[in-house]
Amino acid sequence: MGEVAIELREVRKSFDEVVAVQRFDVGIRKGEFFSLLGPSGCGKTTTLRLIAGLEEPSEGQILLEGREVSRVPAFKRNVHTVFQDYALFPHMDVRRNVWFPLKMRGVGLAEAGERIARVLRLVNMEGFERRLPQQLSGGQRQRIALARSLVDSPAALLLDEPLGALDFKLRVAMQKVLKDIQRGVGITFIYVTHDQTEALTMSDRIAVMKGGQVHQIGTPDEIYNTPATAFVASFIGDMNFLRGRLSAASGGSGTVELEGQSIACRRCPPGLAAGEEVLIGLRTERVQLNPLRSTEALLPAVVKRIVYRGTDYEATCSCGAQEIRAVVSSVSWDPGVREGSAVRIGFGSGDVSLYARSEESQIIQYSSVAV
């Protein structure tokens, strides 16, 4: 646990009757890549604006490097914000754009020369000093915006969907550039995105939000493999949600009844009691069709639909009254499995996560049926 750079203590923000952020409590470490992830309107930008000093919290405190800044204005905080639209000055060339934050502190252009050169090297934009923003591509403009934010060595950089305007390939390339730069400079990044892949691949830790509420804060591995709520489980990755009943629960593990079979679960949240109706989360890529080795759970099912997706196949199977989707990589797909085939569905006791049935309404489904 390194030094804490940014701390939110029970921060709450409401705009009249709208609660944009409720009880955000976190310590973000120096040099950490911390992401805020969640659907539109969940409070990501508001959280960033609170840290930047562009909004005041309704309750709670914000500390930057140990100092209470809740009432300190934005320009007195040692943090910079990079927005989606870059906001470069159109009439200034690259060099003057990058110089701007130093100019505001009274540093002359000649004096700033070495620092400007260094950050342009860092973002791989040497030789572009005399270009105007309109003479640059989207990715290049984004890199200049980044150089400008880094030139006066802020304690933290706040990025609000900085790659949102870029096309997919450029976006993936810029993710790598950004991550490399962050590693290189060791500055704390707080990164807002609604793209789960971006958050998982770039972050040290992620806060997953919905409706102003923080559902989970954890490493990408924790968020993906042990989602704290049904919402997190549904928002990240591809999840089956099945209905079952908890027949036994003790010491953090349990047994569920699913379509007439008893299935052991390695993790059972303490709030669930034996006898309760539960939701069973099972990642589609964990589901095996006709497993060669024995698995802890084995359910008979019939394949209803097979969709070829290039790198994998998605097989939708009916198992009693419920549907279970399996995503199987193309290399290990058994061509003998057809629509109508009887199969056995296998998975392990560590592959399932359990939630209260009352969380069902929080599930976000992006199924092909809905589209």
Ligand X SMILES: Nc1ncnc2c1ncn2[C@@H]1O[C@H](COP(=O)(O)OP(=O)(O)OP(=O)(O)O)[C@@H](O)[C@H]1O
182 touches Mg ion (CB under 5 A): no
In whole angstroms, give the CA distance from residue 192 to residue 207: 10
Out of 5, 42, 125, 278, point to the residue binding ligand X (CB under 6 A).
Answer: 42
Nearer to ligand X, 44 or 325 (CB): 44
Task: Report which DSSP code applies to 135.
Answer: G
41 touches ligand X (CB under 6 A): yes
Nearer to ligand X, 22 or 240 (CB): 22
| Segment near ligand X (CB under 6 A); pick from 36-44, 166-174, 222-230, 266-274 | 36-44
Are residues 229 and 216 in contact, defined by beta-carbon separation less than 8 angstroms? Answer: yes
- Closest to 175 in 3D by CA, of 163, 164, 165, 167: 163
- Closest to 39 in 3D by CA, of 228, 165, 208: 208
Out of 3, 18, 180, 184, point to the residue binding ligand X (CB under 6 A).
Answer: 18
Interacting partner of 182 out of Mg ion, ligand X, none (Cβ under 5 to 8 A depending on kind): none
In whole angstroms, give the CA distance from residue 211 to residue 18: 10
60 touches ligand X (CB under 6 A): no
Out of 5, 28, 44, 98, point to the residue binding ligand X (CB under 6 A).
Answer: 44
Shortest Å distance, C-beta 218 to ligand X: 19
45 touches ligand X (CB under 6 A): yes
Structure token pair of residue 232:
């997190």
| Segment near ligand X (CB under 6 A); pick from 37-45, 65-73, 104-112, 142-150 | 37-45
Write each residue from 177 to 206 as x if it is in contact with ligand X (CB under 6 A), else as -, in one continuous string: -----------------x------------
35 touches Mg ion (CB under 5 A): no
The alpha-helical segments, DSSP class H, found in 212-358 are 220-225, 230-235
284 touches ligand X (CB under 6 A): no
37 touches ligand X (CB under 6 A): no
Residue 215 Cα distances to 23, 73, 228, 265, 356, angstroms? 11, 29, 7, 22, 15
Task: Report which DSSP code applies to 131.
Answer: -
- Closest to 64 in 3D by CA, of 154, 128, 175: 154
- The contact set with ligand X (CB under 6 A) reads 15, 18, 20, 38, 40-46, 194
